[in-house]
């Protein structure tokens, strides 16, 4: 029996992801994507911010009914500020789900309290207590987030979290709202908060990392090392500004470096690539080609040395198999850096069995073409098999 520690995967593609430029989704698209998130096996879908608009409310409610209504469905969450009308809207929107969550947040940094909310620390603490208590009248499962937590005064952060727990919060999220923290610092923050708050072993602590310094995934994993047991993340890492921690990178890191991260998730790994592709079809951009785990080039090898290695034994240059994450693209890509072996492999895949002599002749033409042309497609390779006038190049060309 596995002794790995279970980690809750909280997907916020439809909330934090959707609220970033180019990522807007319509009602039907959100519903389609929520069904895919359920197939992927996420534990919690943050379906939106119910108070934000009628459209958002309807989407959260429909997802709660149609995705969250099924047996073994993910829990459906809605975000709410510390305001009565937000909490009531969130409660109504998630009500049809079998398992629901109200996710309440308030800023904990002095910068946000003074410049944005214009309230004192005392008012903030009152607000948190009242709001979490109200949320608990509607749901057993209430998450509280300390917005800008990583830039907050530590003693005040601990005070705010303590108030939220006493008011009934069951999950405490410490967001790195502006992507400012570092792995060591974030790990240490969870360790300190958990050590200093009595009864924190009864609470699930959560990470929520933005990627402004490109550290969102590293910080999330460091949060786990510090005792966090929920990770908030998005598909393809979409989200405010530089985005959120990418779900696919976190679960791939846990699966691949299990020796360092002895955790388990409910993610169905071979649904990662299809989910990433679906999101790319829905919003106005897909994962960049060099994106870890799900990018078009994540498993592509073009240089002769790498192709030779991978064709001999994929472990030479692949730390996980493309199939394990549901990747269906080409991994041996032909270009000017490719060697004979790769050309022969591609030809064999297309059904052409060539002699050594024939391969040599075709390879010469191939290199000449690849020097002129950036992308070599299957049609180009087939074209290379056609003999020039008066030449016998390949004997078995149909």
Which residues, including other chains, have CB under 8 Å from residue 112's CB and lie 6 or more apart? 147, 148
- Count residues binding ligand KIV (CB under 6 A): 9
Cβ atoms of residues 119 and 127 within 8 Å = yes
Q: Is 16 in the site for Zn ion (CB under 5 A)?
A: yes
Nearer to Zn ion by Cβ, of 234 and 265: the residue is 234
| Sign of the alpha-carbon dihedral angle for 319, 321, 327, 328 | positive
3-state secondary structure of 118: coil
Sequence length of the chain is: 398
Within residues 189-248, the interface with ligand KIV by CB under 6 A covers 208, 210
> What torsion do the CA atoms of 231, 232, 238, 240 make, to the nearest 10 degrees?
-130
**Phi, psi of 8, deg, nearest 5:** -85, 125
Among 33, 57, 105, 186, the residue binding ligand KIV under the rule CB under 6 A is 105
Q: Is 86 in the site for ligand KIV (CB under 6 A)?
A: no
**Phi, psi of 215, deg, nearest 5:** -110, 10
Q: Give the span between the Cα atoms of 191 and 283, in whole angstroms.
A: 38
Find the angle CA(66)-CA(41)-CA(288) to the nearest 5 degrees.
105
Part of the chain binding ligand KIV (CB under 6 A), chosen from 169-177, 212-220, 372-380, 384-392: 169-177
Q: Is 249 in the site for Zn ion (CB under 5 A)?
A: no
Q: Which residue is nearest to Zn ion (CB)?
A: 16
**Phi, psi of 129, deg, nearest 5:** -60, -50
Residue 105 near which of Zn ion, ligand KIV, none (CB within 5-8 Å, type-dependent): ligand KIV
Residue 147 near which of Zn ion, ligand KIV, none (CB within 5-8 Å, type-dependent): ligand KIV
Residue by residue, DSSP assigns 315-355 as GGT-SS-GGGGT--S-SB--STT--HHHHHHHHHHTT----
**Phi, psi of 209, deg, nearest 5:** -115, 135
Q: How many C-beta atoms lie closer than 10 Å to residue 114's C-beta?
A: 13
Q: Give the span between the Cα atoms of 194 and 125, in whole angstroms.
A: 19
Within residues 123-162, the interface with ligand KIV by CB under 6 A covers 145, 147
Nearer to ligand KIV by Cβ, of 105 and 261: the residue is 105
Residue 19 near which of ligand KIV, Zn ion, none (CB within 5-8 Å, type-dependent): none
Nearest distance, CB of residue 7 and ligand KIV, angstroms: 18
Nearer to ligand KIV by Cβ, of 210 and 229: the residue is 210
Within residues 13-42, the interface with ligand KIV by CB under 6 A covers 16
Nearer to ligand KIV by Cβ, of 175 and 286: the residue is 175
3-state secondary structure of 359: helix
Q: Which two tokens stand for residue 165?
A: 């727990």
Nearest distance, CB of residue 261 and ligand KIV, angstroms: 23
Part of the chain binding Zn ion (CB under 5 A), chosen from 11-19, 34-42, 54-62, 267-275: 11-19
Nearer to ligand KIV by Cβ, of 145 and 220: the residue is 145
Nearer to Zn ion by Cβ, of 106 and 300: the residue is 106
Nearer to ligand KIV by Cβ, of 167 and 178: the residue is 178
Nearest distance, CB of residue 381 and Zn ion, angstroms: 46
Q: Give the span between the Cα atoms of 248 and 327, in whole angstroms.
A: 12
Part of the chain binding ligand KIV (CB under 6 A), chosen from 51-59, 70-78, 170-178, 321-329: 170-178
Comparing CA positions, the residue from 53, 89, 86, 48 lying closest to residue 67 is 48
Among 17, 48, 175, 223, the residue binding ligand KIV under the rule CB under 6 A is 175
Nearest distance, CB of residue 237 and ligand KIV, angstroms: 13
Q: Is 81 in the site for ligand KIV (CB under 6 A)?
A: no
Q: Is 177 in the site for ligand KIV (CB under 6 A)?
A: yes
Q: Give the span between the Cα atoms of 195 and 171, in whole angstroms.
A: 16
Residue 145 near which of ligand KIV, Zn ion, none (CB within 5-8 Å, type-dependent): ligand KIV
Contact residues: Zn ion, CB under 5 A? 16
Q: Which residues here bind ligand KIV, judged by CB under 6 A?
A: 16, 105, 145, 147, 173, 175, 177, 208, 210
């Amino acid at each position: 029996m596995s002794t790995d520690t279970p980690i809750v995967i909280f997907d916020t593609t439809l909330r934090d992801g959707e609220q970033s430029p180019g990522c807007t989704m319509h009602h039907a698209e959100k519903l389609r994507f929520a069904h895919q998130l359920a197939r992927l096996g996420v534990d919690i879908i943050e379906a939106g911010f119910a108070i934000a608009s009628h459209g958002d409310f309807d989407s959260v409610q429909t997802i709660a009914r149609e995705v969250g209504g099924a047996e073994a469905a993910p829990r459906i969450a809605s975000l709410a500020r510390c305001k009565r009308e937000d909490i009531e809207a969130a409660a109504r929107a998630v009500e049809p789900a079998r398992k629901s969550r109200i996710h309440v947040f308030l800023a904990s940094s002095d910068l946000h309290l003074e410049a944005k909310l214009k309230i004192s620390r005392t008012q903030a603490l009152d607000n948190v207590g009242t709001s979490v208590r109200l949320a608990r009248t509607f749901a057993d499962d209430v998450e509280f987030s300390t917005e800008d937590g990583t830039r907050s005064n530590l003693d005040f952060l601990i005070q705010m979290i303590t108030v939220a727990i006493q008011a009934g919060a069951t999950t405490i999220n410490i967001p790195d709202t502006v992507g400012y923290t570092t792995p060591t610092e974030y790990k240490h923050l969870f360790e300190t908060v958990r050590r200093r708050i009595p009864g924190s072993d009864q609470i699930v602590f959560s990470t929520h990392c933005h990627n402004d310094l490109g550290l969102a995934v590293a910080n999330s994993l460091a949060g786990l090392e510090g005792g966090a047991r929920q990770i908030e993340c998005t598909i393809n890492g979409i989200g405010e500004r530089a985005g959120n921690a990418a779900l696919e990178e976190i679960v791939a890191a846990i699966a691949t470096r299990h020796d360092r991260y002895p955790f388990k998730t409910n993610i169905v790994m071979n649904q990662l690539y299809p989910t990433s592709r679906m999101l790319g079809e829905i919003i106005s951009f897909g994962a960049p080609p060099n994106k870890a785990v799900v990018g078009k080039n994540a498993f592509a090898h073009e240089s002769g040395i790498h192709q030779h290695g991978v064709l001999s034994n994929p472990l030479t240059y692949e730390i996980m198999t493309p199939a394990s994450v549901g990747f269906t693209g080409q991994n041996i890509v032909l270009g000017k850096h490719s060697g004979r072996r790769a050309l022969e492999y591609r030809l064999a895949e297309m059904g052409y069995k060539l002699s050594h002599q024939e391969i040599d002749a075709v390879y010469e033409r191939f290199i000449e073409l690849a020097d002129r042309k950036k992308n070599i497609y299957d049609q180009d390779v087939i074209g290379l098999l056609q003999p020039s006038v008066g030449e016998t190049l390949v004997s078995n060309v149909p």
